[in-house]
């Protein structure tokens, strides 16, 4: 934005912000040239004019100045986990205020859309399915991260945190659609959200397979799933829900208010919102199914424990018969039945054995054994 077109208050505020940035970073800020092999956080930087990528690999400042001079031009800068100093250099060029900077650098942001001045901050959670041989009590199933897009009149700055959600394919795909790319910086916002929703569909399909496996083994007597496995998958599903469900509000807000959406992009956002609703419904159904599996498994565990207790009680009752008889004869009284009879010992043992056999058959008939 041109400083000549803003009020005195905003000029003073912007000047103070720049002075504070310089005081906190006394060394000269980096130019953020897009060199992927020099340890920079820049993944790519390109100038687009009327839907076409311009040749060369300019710095963000040069590309942004060129975009402001050309009709239908904007620059897309991609950053991956930038340092404060690197991002501060970009923010100074783009006119991003310190509060937006702090929020953008947060690694655990929820999906949101926020307008500050001429810059709109759009945050989307990324996700990817983590391959695993089998589901255990500690298996990682879903890995999530975040992408924040700072969208201005002539620029888009994408800041990504986490291993999921690489945007190289998004950029390549968008560059093959010059008609869509020619709609301006918000076309990048649409392309990123579209890709995230596609990934949500893919992840939800893989999670569904894990849920089906748990459902198949939940009621097996031997080799069935443990309750800890169900809890672990439910925890991973909760993490996935935190990425998917909150995105509904920002998309709905964009469609309701219009934001800065070009007329040609509104239908695109409506379509992606509809596909997001499908994912939300699928995830909600998986959550309910896992709750049912968990409750059923807990009920089965309780039933198994009850059966074990009945078996223990039955064997204890059987063992109590000879114990009681032997205990009586172990009292060493002189006058007891059959104490001095030569067949007394055999008779007592036979009575013990008969009583134990009778009790065993009764318990088997009642289902306790």
Q: 227 and 326, same structural domain?
A: no
Q: What is the mean pLDDT of residues 294-299?
A: 75
Half-sphere exposure for 85 (CA within 13 Å, toward CB): 12
Q: 65 and 212, same structural domain?
A: yes
Q: 61 and 155, same structural domain?
A: yes
19 pLDDT more than 60: no
52 pLDDT more than 90: yes
User: Final residue of a domain: which of 285, 300, 315?
Assistant: 300
Residue 25 lies in a domain: no
Residue 12 lies in a domain: no
Q: 322 and 253, same structural domain?
A: no
Q: 101 and 186, same structural domain?
A: yes
Q: 178 and 41, same structural domain?
A: yes
- Residue 154 has what pLDDT? 93
- Residue 298 has what pLDDT? 73
Q: How confident is the model at residue 339 (pLDDT cuts 50, 70, 90)?
A: low
Mean pLDDT over each residue of the chain, to the nearest integer? 81
User: Final residue of a domain: which of 300, 324, 339?
Assistant: 300
Residue 227 lies in a domain: yes
Q: How confident is the model at residue 25 (pLDDT cuts 50, 70, 90)?
A: very low
Q: Which residues contact 329 (CB under 8 A, 6 or more apart)?
A: 336, 339, 348
Q: What is the pLDDT of residues 70-113, one digit of tens each?
A: 998 999 999 999 999 999 999 999 988 888 888 899 888 889 99
Phi, psi of 345 (to 5 degrees): -60, -45
Residue 163 lies in a domain: yes
Q: 127 and 71, same structural domain?
A: yes
Residue 11 lies in a domain: no
5 pLDDT more than 70: no
Identify the top-confidence range among 41-50, 228-237, 309-318: 41-50
Phi, psi of 279 (to 5 degrees): -65, -40
Domain of residue 52: give its range: 31-300
Name the domain count of the chain: 2
368 pLDDT more than 80: no
- Residue 313 has what pLDDT? 81
Cβ-based burial of 302 (10 A; exposed 0-12, middle 13-18, buried ≥19): exposed
32 pLDDT more than 60: no
Q: 321 and 289, same structural domain?
A: no
Q: What is the CATH number of the domain that holds 229?
A: 3.30.460.20
Q: 356 and 286, same structural domain?
A: no
333 pLDDT more than 90: no
By mean pLDDT, which of 116-120, 185-189, 267-271, 330-334 is the weakest?
A: 330-334
Q: 250 and 235, same structural domain?
A: yes
Residue 22 lies in a domain: no
Three-class HEC string of the chain: CCHHHCCHHHHHHHHHHHHHHHHHCCCCCCCCCCCCCCCCCEEEEEEEECCEECCCCCCHHHHHHHHHHCCCEEEEEEEECCCHHHHHHHHHHHCCCHHHHHHHCCCCCCCEEEEECCEEEEEEEEEEECCCCCCCCCCCCEEEEEEEEEECCCEEEEEEECCCCCCHHHHHHHHCCHHHHCCCCHHHHHHHHHHHHHHHHHHHHHHHHHHHHHHHHCCCCCCCCCHHHHHHHHHHHHHHHHHHHHHHHHHHHHHHHCCCCCHHHHHHHHHHHHHHHHHHHHHHHHHHHHHHHHHHHHHHHHHHHHHHHHHHHHHHHHHHHHHHHHHHHCCCCCCCCCCCCCCHHHHHHHHHHHHHHHHHHHHHHHCCC
Residue 1 lies in a domain: no
Q: Which residues contact 1 (CB under 8 A, 6 or more apart)?
A: 95, 117, 118, 153
Q: 311 and 295, same structural domain?
A: no
pTM, entire model: 0.73
Residue 343 lies in a domain: yes
User: Final residue of a domain: which of 300, 321, 352?
Assistant: 300
Q: What is the mean pLDDT of residues 237-261?
A: 85
Q: What is the CATH number of the domain that holds 352?
A: 1.20.58
Q: What is the pLDDT of residues 206-216, one digit of tens each?
A: 999 988 888 88
Sheet holding 42-49, edge to edge: 52-53, 42-49, 73-80, 155-161, 142-151, 119-129, 112-116
Q: 135 and 81, same structural domain?
A: yes
Measured CA to CA in angstroms, residue 336 lies from 244, 323, 349 at distances of 81, 17, 16
């Amino acid at each position: 934005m041109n400083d000549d077109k803003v009020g005195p208050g905003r000029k003073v505020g912007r000047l103070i912000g720049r002075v504070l940035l310089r005081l906190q970073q006394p060394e000269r800020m980096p130019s953020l040239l897009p060199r992927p092999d020099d340890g920079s956080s820049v993944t790519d930087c390109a100038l687009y004019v009327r839907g076409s990528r311009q040749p060369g690999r300019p710095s963000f400042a040069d590309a942004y100045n060129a975009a402001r001079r050309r009709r239908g031009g904007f620059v897309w800068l991609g950053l991956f986990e930038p340092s404060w100093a690197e991002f501060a250099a970009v923010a100074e060029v783009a006119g991003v205020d310190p509060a937006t900077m702090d929020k953008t650098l947060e690694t655990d942001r929820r999906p949101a859309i926020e307008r500050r001045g001429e810059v709109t901050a759009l945050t989307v959670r990324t996700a990817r399915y983590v391959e695993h041989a089998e589901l255990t009590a500690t298996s990682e199933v879903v890995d999530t991260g975040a992408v924040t897009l700072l969208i201005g009149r002539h620029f888009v700055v994408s800041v990504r945190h986490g291993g999921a959600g690489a945007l190289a394919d998004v950029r390549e795909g968008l560059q093959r659609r010059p008609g869509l790319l020619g709609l301006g910086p918000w076309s990048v916002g649409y392309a990123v959200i579209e890709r995230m929703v596609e990934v949500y569909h893919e992840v939800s399909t893989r999670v569904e397979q894990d849920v089906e496996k748990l459902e198949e083994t939940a009621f097996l007597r031997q080799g069935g799933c443990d309750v800890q496995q169900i809890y672990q998958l439910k925890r991973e599903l909760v993490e996935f829900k935190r990425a998917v469900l909150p995105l509904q509000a920002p998309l709905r807000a964009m469609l309701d208010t219009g934001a800065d959406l070009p007329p040609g992009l509104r239908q695109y956002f409506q379509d992606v919102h509809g596909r997001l609703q499908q994912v939300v419904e699928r995830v909600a159904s998986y959550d309910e199914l896992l709750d049912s599996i968990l409750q059923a498994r807990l009920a089965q565990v309780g039933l198994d424990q009850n059966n074990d207790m009945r078996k223990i009680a039955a064997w204890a009752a059987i063992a109590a018969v000879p114990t009681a008889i032997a205990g009586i004869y172990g009292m060493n009284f002189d006058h007891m039945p059959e104490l001095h009879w030569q067949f007394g010992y055999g008779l007592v043992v036979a009575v013990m054995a008969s009583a134990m056999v009778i009790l065993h058959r009764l318990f088997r008939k009642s289902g306790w054994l």
